[in-house]
Amino acid sequence: MTEPRTHTLELPGCALHYDVREAGQSDAPILLMIGSPMDARGFNALAGHFRDRTVVTYDPRGIERSTRTDGAAESTPDLHADDLHRLIDALGGGPVDVFASSGGAVNGLALVARHPEQVRTLVAHEPPIAQVLPDREQALAAVADIRRTYDKEGFGPAMVKFIAVVGHQGEIPADFADQPRPNPAEFGLPAEDDGTRDDALFAQNLVTCTHYEPDFEALRAAPARVVVGVGVESEGQLAYRAGVAVAERLGSKPVTFPSNHGGFLDDTFGMPGDPDNFAVTLREVLAG
């Protein structure tokens, strides 16, 4: 595998940056690794375990290098899916294999529903779609409260609530927004509001991602193979439960991956997973 080479794809309202690690002689489809709001750097450790095939990573619209020029406040899964469709076209049209994490998994489901011919296998790891949960009303209300907190108080207070919601075990209580929260400083987060309101998670993707309703009929009819993954250490948490619900709607069972929601991460981002064993499971899933 070569060192990653960066390319730019000019799209309506965005200059999309992506990185290609060439494998040389390989009959395997391109492996596209996507997240949201995680950018390409989050997949460095995992990509290193697939040196026998070409791996592509990218910064989604409005995140890191992929700057927006359209002035829009939010990015929907369908918009991200259209970006991915154009990216795959630029890579030769596919079909590609896709490993998609978190919000990227939601965008991957939208991609397969809209452009099923471009994907051979999608591995959607813990898509945080609150809309599919049995406690969706409470979960969506908690998400709406996080967004209101961000708009009113800024990043630190919103992140404290976000951490509480995503780490909560079991169904979200109806009074979750009213429960006491710790000081952001206890988490090393800023307690003071810096006045900015352009965070990629809270401003652009949080509401549209969690409120997304997948087109399950299109997904079930697609020629692409869709596999939902969940982390063994995140059982009971929102994204795990959503993954189980998505798999059930697709008529399948989720595959359990090692570690947590970010199980493919190394220690670069402060919460290391188990990338070595995660890659083993991913390789097995992609092999069918």
Query: Domain segments of the chain: what residues?
Result: 5-129+213-286, 136-206
The two tokens of residue 28 are 């395997």
Quote the CATH superfamily of domain 5-129+213-286.
Answer: Alpha/Beta hydrolase fold, catalytic domain (3.40.50.1820)
The 3-state secondary structure of 97-125 reads EEEEECHHHHHHHHHHHHCHHHEEEEEEE
Residue corresponding to tokens 């996507």: 34
pLDDT tens track, the chain, 288 positions = 678 999 999 999 999 999 999 987 788 999 999 999 999 999 999 999 999 999 999 999 999 999 999 888 899 999 999 999 999 999 999 999 999 999 999 999 999 999 999 999 999 999 999 999 999 999 999 999 999 999 999 999 999 999 999 999 999 999 998 999 889 999 999 989 999 999 999 999 999 999 999 999 999 999 999 999 999 999 999 999 999 999 999 999 999 999 999 999 998 877 789 999 999 999 999 998
pLDDT of residue 269: 78
pLDDT of residue 24: 75
As a residue count, the chain comes to 288
265 vs 151: CA distance, rounded Å = 30
Pair 43, 104: CB distance under 8 Å:
no
pLDDT of residue 1: 64
Q: Give rounded-to-5 percent helix, strand, coil for the chain.
A: 45, 15, 40
